[in-house]
Structure 1
Amino acid sequence: MIPLDRILVSGALLLSLQIAQATEGRTVFTQGGQNPAAMACIGCHGADGMGMAAAGFPRLAGLPAGYLSKQLADFRSGSRKNPIMEPLAKALSDSEIQSVSAALAAMPTPKTPVVRRQQMASSPDEKLALYGDWSRGIPGCVQCHGPGGLGVGEHFPPLVHQPASYLVAQLNAWRDGTRSNDTNQLMVGVAKALNDEEVKAVADYFANRIGQEGTQ
């Protein structure tokens, strides 16, 4: 049987590590990393982490920590390209990447109601987002990204509350081959099957879900 004092010490150490990680994560988000090249996230992604739609900077708040840390690691290695994020990610330490990812994942996001697919599929754009077009091998976005695009696990991030311009840019990056860091190349195949109008329509659908009413 483990002595009580050992359990208490272990618990205190764990709590201390968690507090230190949370503090480091908030510092990276608001002030930047120890390396001056690691700029603060808040400058582009907003004080609430919800991004800046006008500039095409994405929402980071509430995204899974595992997804965020993978994207930062991919920017660092160059497997995901972005002239702003690549040098920033390279300037972050492993600890800072883990800490800021956890801090961002814990940030609150506006509540978006989950809606039934049949209740929302009232236009061609909605049908593509919700059901896809299997005649062309296109699954509905929500089949991987969850009901209403709220996200599923670490590999399928939320699509709602993302700027349409950001979603368009990512779909086009998968289409032209400048982004290919998705799991099993799923997004590469889907994006290449979409035309320009469909890319815009799907992006607009999820971006415009902000504040929509709905029922479970």
Structure 2
Amino acid sequence: MARWLVILGLCLLFPTAFAQQSPGGAPAAAGSCVACHGPEGQGSGAYPHLVGLGEAYIRRQLDAFASGERANAIMKPIASGLSESQRQAVAAYFSGLSPVPADAAAGAPPDGPGRTLALHGRWQQDLPACVQCHGPGGQGIGEDFPPLAGQPAAYLEDQLKAWRAGNRPAGPQGLMGHIAERLDEDDLKAVAAYFAALPAAGEAGDD
């Protein structure tokens, strides 16, 4: 938490400094983004990969942060400090980046309940398989179902908790709200670990 507060304070107090750190070709508005998400949008820990996400999806999330519809103490002031055109420019920039090849990644995704939920669901609890909406290998489908593969496990787990708590819009037909509320703590960790171990969107290979 202390680290988040320091980053937030720097982003708010010194936007020009962060803008000067923007990677080549990035809009100035992306300057504060690289502090947490990295110059190539690669993210880490609780900060998601932005590279590989669609432009419309990123823009929609920025708008939700700005309006408070998606609750996040760090992203709310950053997103609301950007104009609509700046949010669009940030979305276009990060969606257009090429994935950074992973270092000898984590190896094969783990067997167990996370894999089962991801590939088969748990129909006795009305839980569909994650890949039914997010695509083979969790590579994402269209504007509404982003890639899960390769996202940090901590981030995926946090988002499932946010849906369960009603702190994030539940998406098309309220699907993610209904799904998350049926997952216990072990389920959250297992399915997050499974997708985190898969090759990120744009990298070769599906599970």
- Percent identical among aligned pairs is 43
Equivalent in the alignment of 2:183: 194
Tell me the secondary structure at the aligned position of residue 181 of structure 2: helix
Once the 2 structures are TM-superposed, how far is the Cα of residue 26 of structure 1 from its aligned partner? Answer: 3.0
1:146 equivalent among 135, 140, 143: 135
Q: Is the 8 A contact 1:128 1:202 kept in 2?
A: yes
SS in 2 for 1:193: coil
**Pairwise CA distance, 1:195:** 1.0
**Hey, what's the Cα distance between the residues in 2 that align with 1:156 and 1:183?**
9
Provide the C-alpha distance between the structure 2 equivalents of 1:95 and 1:24, rounded to a whole number of angstroms: 16
Residue 135 of structure 1 pairs with residue 124 of structure 2:
yes
Residue 121 to residue 210, structure 1, CA distance change in 2 (3 Å)? closer
Q: Aligned residue for 1:97?
A: 87
2:114, 2:192 within 8 Å by CA — same for their partners in 1?
Answer: no
Q: CA deviation at 1:161?
A: 1.7
Question: For residues 126-180 of structure 1, what are the alpha-carbon distances to aligned partners after superposition, in whole Å with 9 as ceiling and x for unaligned?
Answer: 1211110111100111100011100111100110121100111110111122223
Structure 1 unaligned regions, length at least 5 = 1-22, 32-39, 113-119
Greater per-residue helix proportion: 1
Equivalent residue pairs, number: 176
- Corresponding letter in the other structure for 2:27: R
Q: Check conservation: 1:61, 1:107, Cα contact below 8 A.
A: yes
Measure how far apart 1:187 and its partner are. 0.1
86, 111, 117: which one pairs with 2:76? 86
The within-5 A match list for 1:60-71 is 60-71=50-61
2:96 is matched with which residue? Answer: 106
Alpha carbon RMSD of aligned pairs, Å?
2.4
Normalised by the length of structure 2, the TM-score is: 0.78
1:174–1:180 contact (8 Å) kept in structure 2: yes
Aligned counterparts of 2:64 and 2:170: Cα–Cα separation in 1: 7
Larger radius of gyration: 1
Poorly superposed stretches of 4+, deviation over 4 Å: 211-216
Letter in 1 for 2:51: A
Could you tell me whether the CA contact under 8 Å between 1:150 and 1:157 is conserved in 2? yes
**Cα separation, 1, equivalents of 2:93 and 2:206:** 30
